[in-house]
Amino acid sequence: MIAEALLYAATVPATLKAHRPFIRYSVNLWSRAGRCRQQWADHEERSLNAVRRALAGLQQRRTAVVLGSGLLRDVPIEDLARTFDTVVLVDLVHLASTRLWLRLKGYSNIRLIERDLSGYDELAAGGQPEPLAFLRTVPYLDFVVSANLLSQIGRGAKRRYEAEEKGAMPADTVAQLIEAHRSALEAVPCKICLVTDVSHAIIDRTGKVHEEADLLHGVSLSPVRASWTWPVAPLGEESTDYQILHKVVAAY
């Protein structure tokens, strides 16, 4: 708990005021990633390899953008920094630990941007959500990665939607925002790689499934090139009686 508190305190001054309420989610993820390092290793390696395969054969490597860069555990940041002129990491929060690691590595070609990638506020204002419109202003863009972000957009949108007054937002808010991200990626005029968890299951020790959920709320992805299982909460993490498994896919 002390490490988490220190990381939170160190991240606050480096984070935009509007984004500070979300720091605790990033710190919680950092903490769980440390505890579940062994169980998450396969998922992280498969995520890294999906991005590497998407990169294979890419002729021009001027600017790469990583959407949902997070803890950088599922992004081959060293490969990107070594082979691209500029790498832009975009997320709602960049933890102080991530900033320090990048500084110690001495990457002079990496840029950090804090940005809400959900499109929720645009939809709430009655507009058409275009959360990735800023990509049109990125010069020499050759590669875009969406790194285990899409389901998090849905999760955050669902939480905000449920807190709204009834009727304040469209009934299909979550699906709209997930589709907006998917379609915007598809429209980007460069190579893309989308890695995301698509389903959620709670399974007990006997293998019985107690709960299942579609994390993309009916939005389909293609072409899916790989899929695997991610033990988001292995036995003992949230309960000694059940585990939480997510199905993850890579599309590129």
Structure tokens at 9: 């305190």
Closest CA to 193 of 145, 138, 241, 122: 145
Contact criterion met (CB below 8 Å) for 202 and 231: no
Distance (Å) of CA 218 to CA 49, 118, 167, 198:
27, 17, 21, 10
Q: For position 67, what pLDDT does the model report?
A: 98
Q: For position 1, what pLDDT does the model report?
A: 84
Q: For position 68, what pLDDT does the model report?
A: 97
Q: For position 171, what pLDDT does the model report?
A: 94
The per-residue pLDDT for range 41-96, each reduced to its tens digit, is 999 999 999 999 999 989 999 999 999 999 999 999 999 999 999 999 999 999 99
Contact criterion met (CB below 8 Å) for 194 and 250: yes
Distance (Å) of CA 239 to CA 44, 210, 229, 244:
23, 14, 19, 10
Q: Rounded mean pLDDT of the chain?
A: 96
Q: For position 242, what pLDDT does the model report?
A: 96
Structure tokens at 224: 């899916």
Residue 23 phi/psi, 5° resolution?
-60, -40
Which residue has 């305190």 as its token pair?
A: 9
Asked if the peptide bond before residue 234 counts as cis, ω within 30 degrees of 0, the response is no
pLDDT interval class at 34 (50, 70, 90): very high
Q: For position 109, what pLDDT does the model report?
A: 98
In whole angstroms, what is the distance from residue 132 CA to residue 150 CA?
Answer: 12
Q: Rounded to 5 degrees, what angle do the CA atoms 191, 95, 3 make?
A: 140
Q: What percent of the chain has pLDDT over 90?
A: 98
Structure tokens at 81: 């920094």
Pick among 1.20.81, 3.40.50, 3.30.70, 3.90.380: CATH of 2-251: 3.40.50
Helix (H, G, I), strand (E, B) or coil at 233: strand
The per-residue pLDDT for range 149-179, each reduced to its tens digit, is 999 999 999 999 999 998 899 999 999 999 9
pLDDT interval class at 205 (50, 70, 90): very high
Where are the chain's structural domains?
Answer: 2-251
Average pLDDT over residues 113-126: 95
Average pLDDT over residues 232-249: 96
Q: For position 55, what pLDDT does the model report?
A: 95
Residue 38 has pLDDT above 90, yes or no: yes
In whole angstroms, what is the distance from residue 235 CA to residue 207 CA?
Answer: 12
Distance (Å) of CA 125 to CA 118, 121, 136, 175:
13, 6, 22, 17
Residue 193 is classified by DSSP as E
In whole angstroms, what is the distance from residue 172 CA to residue 152 CA?
Answer: 16
Closest CA to 143 of 78, 56, 227, 49: 56
Q: For position 222, what pLDDT does the model report?
A: 85
Residue 132 has pLDDT above 90, yes or no: yes
pTM to 2 decimal places: 0.95
Q: For position 173, what pLDDT does the model report?
A: 97
The per-residue pLDDT for range 179-197, each reduced to its tens digit, is 999 999 999 999 999 999 9
